[in-house]
Chains A and B, each alone.
Chain A
Amino acid sequence: MKTRNRWRRAWLLAVGALAGFALAPALAVAQEFQKVNGPLREELPATPFVAAAYGFIWIALLAYVAWLARGVGRVRKDLAELRGRIGEQADRGGPRP
């Protein structure tokens, strides 16, 4: 029983020592903050994000206007076609809508 306890203690000590070794570099890094010399530099430049946002709004609105223009064009074409059919019918002397 005594031998068993001794082994358990030794095992716990070994695990504790390993954990200590593993954590030591991290603790060391945490103690080594470096001060910034000069003005703080921004990691990401803001201009591409602002330009992309404005560009997207422009493109989306223009694409929608183009899509609307296409719809108007189709309606005009269909109306012209219908007028043609009505005209043909009228020439034949049929009833008008």
Chain B
Amino acid sequence: MRSVGIGFVAAATAAAVGFLFVPALILGAPLEPVMGFVQKIFYFHVPCATMLFLSTFVCAGGSIAYLFKGSEAGDRVAASAGELAVLFGLCTLVTGPLWGRKAWGVWWQWDARLTSALLLELIMIAYLLARRYGGPAGRKLSAALALFAAIDVPLVYKSVDIWRTVHPQTTVVPSLDPRMRPAFWSAFALILLVWTVLFMVRLRLERARAELASLRLDVEDMLEIG
């Protein structure tokens, strides 16, 4: 594998420093009058959900390139983003019920937002499983699944505006108290940075695996000739 660049090292260091610095900003932000201290989960829950959406769109973009143009690079991008979608989806689906238990009194509600978000996570898990165990057609099957996942994203986002749900609406972030904004946007920038670093590493690993597989075939051919 090629050695890591200075940009990657800087991003990884900034992410590590951010994880020490951002919680202090969040603790310093004013308390929300209705929900109180448990609302602090919001500062990481929303960025994680946004990264789930971003990962799904990147995965779908790569899958389109692979399905319609046969792009191997697109497939590698999709595979890397697909894993991150599952990771950040898991973070969203765990932090949400922790917030809900305190704010609503229940861990889970089968309402439109929660159910569609769970569906998105399950589609992305199916994407990874189809890739891993789908056999020769697994990559194409998983690419098709990624397209369905991308269609689910706008549904998840707008579900709180279309149907009556217990989940806060999409107006929460634009109408955020100005004193809460620095903490929120710092947490958002941190999670985006972490996503970028993980995506770069995962993509690099996927490239290395592809090069290794190709090299292995060359060596097998060479040994047969030899």
A residues contacting B by CB (< 8 A) are 42, 44, 46-47, 49-50, 52-54, 56-58, 60-61, 64-65, 68, 71-72, 75-76, 78-79, 82, 85-86, 89, 92, 94-97
Answer whether residue B25 sits at the interface, using C-beta atoms and an 8 A cutoff. Answer: no
The stretch that binds A, out of B110-118, B152-160, B211-219, is B211-219
Count residues of B near A (Cβ-Cβ below 8 Å).
Answer: 38
Binds A, one of B36-44, B57-65, B142-150: B36-44
Contact surface of B with A, Cβ cutoff 8 Å: 1, 19, 23, 36-38, 40-41, 44-45, 48, 83, 87, 90-91, 94-95, 98-99, 101-102, 194, 198, 201-202, 205, 208-209, 212, 215-216, 218-219, 221-223, 225-226
Asked whether, in the complex, the Cβ of B219 is within 8 Å of the Cβ of A71, the reply is: no
Contact of B91 among A60, A71, A79, A86 (CB under 8 A): A60
Q: Are B99 and A49 in contact (CB under 8 A)?
A: yes
Classify the interface of chain A: helix, strand, loop or mixed.
helix
Further contacts, 12 of them, CB under 8 A, given A46-B102, A75-B208, A89-B222:
A49-B99, A50-B41, A53-B94, A61-B198, A64-B198, A72-B1, A78-B212, A78-B216, A82-B216, A94-B223, A94-B225, A97-B219
In the bound complex, CA of A46 to CA of B91 (Å):
18
User: Contact: B219 with A68, CB < 8 Å?
Assistant: no
Do B208 and A50 touch (CB < 8 A)?
Answer: no
CB <8 Å contact, B23 and A53 = no
**In the complex, how many angstroms separate the beta carbon of B92 from the nearest chain A beta carbon?**
10
